[in-house]
C-alpha cells in the first residue's frame, strides 16, 4: 500500500509539473484587453464625406496554394506541415500586389503568423508591411494562438497566429475580445487556439469613431455548441455598439456556411466540418450583410464563394464562409469577392472587398 501511495504521489507530482509547464508556456488573454496601436505621426483622420473600402482576407500564413496541409483533409493525413521560405516570399509579394492594386483604406488579415515554427519564427506583419509602400501608417493586431511548444506530432514547436488591421487613417484605440473556446481537457485547453475579435476605433472628423471588427471563428468544433456561443458573443458586442450609436464593419473568416446552403452541395470531405444548425443565422437576421441570403443561395452563388480547399479532391472554390456585415448607418456601395489572378493563387481563402459611405442615408 505504501508503495502504491508513493507511485501515485510521483505521478500526481509529474502531472502537476506538466500542467505548470504548459500553463507558463501558453497564452492567457483576458476577456477584454487593450492592444497596442502603432500610428505614424501625422496619420490623417477620416473625412465623414469620404467613401471607405474595407478589405478582409484570410491569408493562410502566406503559404500559397501548392500544399495540402495535414489538417486540410478530415483524417488529418495531409502530407505537408508548412510552406517553404520561397513559397512564403512569393506569396507575400502576390498578396501585396493585390492590396496595392485594389488600394483599400483598411486591410483586415486573418491567419498572420508570428513566432511559429512552421513559418520560420518570422513576424509576418513586419514582412508584408514594407511591401505595401507607405500607404498604411497605422496598424494593430491581436494574437489568437500562442504557445512556446505544442506537442502535436505535426507541430512539435512554437506557434503564433494573429489578427491584423492596417489602416490609412488614424487608429484611436484597439481592443481584443476573447471568444468562447471549445470544451477540452485541462492541457488541451491551454494549447488550443483562443479565437478572438480585434476591434479598432478609427478617427472620423466631426463624428463618432468608425469601429472595425476583425475575427476568425473556430474551425474544428464539430459536435459542440462552440459556434453558437461564439456567434452569440458577436451578437452581444454588435448590440452594444448599436446602443452606443457607433457605426461599424465586421469582417473575417466565420467558418460557417450561409443559412439555407445545404451541406449536400459539398464534397463529403468539405461537408464534414459543418453542421446543419445554421449558427450564423442571427447575424443575417439582425444586421446588414454585404451579400444577401438570396444571392448566397441563388443561381449565381459561385460568385460569392470565398473558400478554395487545399484538399486535392476539391481544389476549387466551393463555399462561402467569409463574410462582411455592417451597421445600419452605413450605406453599401459595392461588394465583391476577388476570384482571379494573384488573389486566387495566394491562399485557401479569397479576399472580400466592401465599399461603404459613412454619410447617413
What 3 state SS string does 280-306 have?
Answer: CHHHHHHCEECCCHHHHCCCCHHHHCC
The domain defined by 30-358 carries CATH number 3.60.10.10: yes
| Residue 323 CB-half CA count within 13 A | 25
Cβ-contact 324, 250 below 8 angstroms: yes
Which residue's C-alpha cell is 500586389?
A: 97
**What is the model's pLDDT at position 138?**
98
322-326/37-39 β-pairing? unpaired
- Strands, DSSP E only, in the chain? 32-34, 37-39, 51-58, 106-113, 138-150, 157-167, 171-178, 196-202, 210-216, 247-253, 288-289, 322-326, 331-337, 352-357
Per-domain residue ranges of the chain: 30-358
C-alpha cell recorded at residue 312: 486535392
| Residue 281 CB-half CA count within 13 A | 9
**What is the model's pLDDT at position 361?**
47
Cβ-contact 167, 183 below 8 angstroms: no
Cβ-contact 322, 343 below 8 angstroms: no
Q: pTM here?
A: 0.95
Cβ-contact 80, 116 below 8 angstroms: no
Nearest to 171 by CA among 99, 100, 105: 105
**What is the model's pLDDT at position 20?**
61
Alpha-carbon distance of 239 to 253, in angstroms, equals 20
Residuewise pLDDT in 10s, the chain (361 residues): 676 667 766 666 655 555 666 777 899 999 999 999 999 999 999 999 999 999 999 999 999 999 999 999 999 999 999 999 999 999 999 999 999 999 999 999 999 999 999 999 999 999 999 999 999 999 999 999 999 999 999 999 999 999 999 999 999 999 999 999 999 998 899 999 999 999 999 999 999 999 999 999 999 888 999 999 999 999 999 999 999 999 999 999 999 999 999 999 999 999 999 999 999 999 999 999 999 999 999 999 999 999 999 999 999 999 999 999 999 999 999 999 999 999 999 999 999 999 999 976 4
Alpha-carbon distance of 43 to 39, in angstroms, equals 7
**Cβ neighbours around 153 below 10 Å, total:** 8
Amino acid at each position: 500500500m505504501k508503495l502504491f501511495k508513493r507511485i501515485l504521489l510521483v505521478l500526481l507530482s509529474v502531472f502537476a509539473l506538466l500542467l505548470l509547464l504548459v500553463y507558463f508556456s501558453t497564452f492567457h488573454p483576458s476577456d477584454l484587453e487593450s492592444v497596442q496601436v502603432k500610428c505614424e505621426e501625422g496619420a490623417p483622420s477620416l473625412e465623414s464625406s469620404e467613401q471607405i473600402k474595407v478589405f478582409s482576407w484570410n491569408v493562410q500564413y502566406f503559404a500559397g496554394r501548392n500544399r495540402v496541409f495535414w489538417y486540410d483533409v478530415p483524417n488529418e493525413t495531409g502530407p505537408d506541415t508548412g510552406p517553404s521560405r520561397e513559397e512564403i516570399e512569393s506569396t507575400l509579394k502576390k498578396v501585396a500586389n493585390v492590396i496595392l492594386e485594389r488600394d483599400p483604406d483598411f486591410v483586415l488579415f486573418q491567419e498572420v503568423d508570428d513566432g511559429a515554427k512552421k513559418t520560420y519564427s518570422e513576424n509576418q506583419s513586419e514582412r508584408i508591411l514594407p511591401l505595401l509602400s507607405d500607404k498604411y501608417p497605422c496598424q494593430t493586431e491581436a494574437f489568437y494562438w500562442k504557445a512556446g511548444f505544442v506537442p502535436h506530432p505535426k507541430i512539435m514547436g512554437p506557434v503564433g497566429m494573429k489578427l491584423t488591421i492596417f489602416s490609412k487613417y488614424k487608429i484611436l484605440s484597439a481592443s481584443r475580445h476573447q471568444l468562447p473556446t471549445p470544451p477540452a481537457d485541462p492541457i488541451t485547453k491551454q494549447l488550443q487556439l483562443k479565437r478572438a475579435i480585434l476591434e479598432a476605433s478609427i478617427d472620423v472628423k466631426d463624428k463618432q469613431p468608425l469601429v472595425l471588427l476583425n475575427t476568425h471563428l473556430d474551425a474544428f468544433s464539430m459536435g459542440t455548441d462552440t459556434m453558437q456561443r461564439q456567434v452569440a458573443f458577436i451578437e452581444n458586442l454588435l448590440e452594444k455598439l448599436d446602443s452606443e450609436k457607433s457605426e461599424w464593419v465586421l469582417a473575417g473568416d466565420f467558418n460557417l456556411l450561409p443559412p439555407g446552403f445545404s451541406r449536400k452541395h459539398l464534397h463529403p470531405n468539405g461537408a464534414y466540418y459543418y453542421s446543419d444548425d445554421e449558427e450564423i443565422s442571427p447575424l443575417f437576421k439582425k444586421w446588414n450583410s454585404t451579400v444577401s441570403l438570396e444571392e448566397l443561395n441563388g443561381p449565381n452563388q459561385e460568385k460569392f464563394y470565398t473558400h478554395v480547399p487545399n484538399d486535392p479532391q476539391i481544389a476549387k472554390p466551393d463555399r462561402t464562409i467569409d463574410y462582411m456585415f455592417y451597421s445600419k448607418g452605413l450605406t453599401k456601395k459595392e461588394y465583391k469577392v476577388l476570384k482571379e489572378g494573384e488573389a486566387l493563387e495566394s491562399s485557401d481563402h479569397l479576399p472580400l472587398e466592401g465599399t461603404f459611405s459613412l454619410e447617413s442615408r
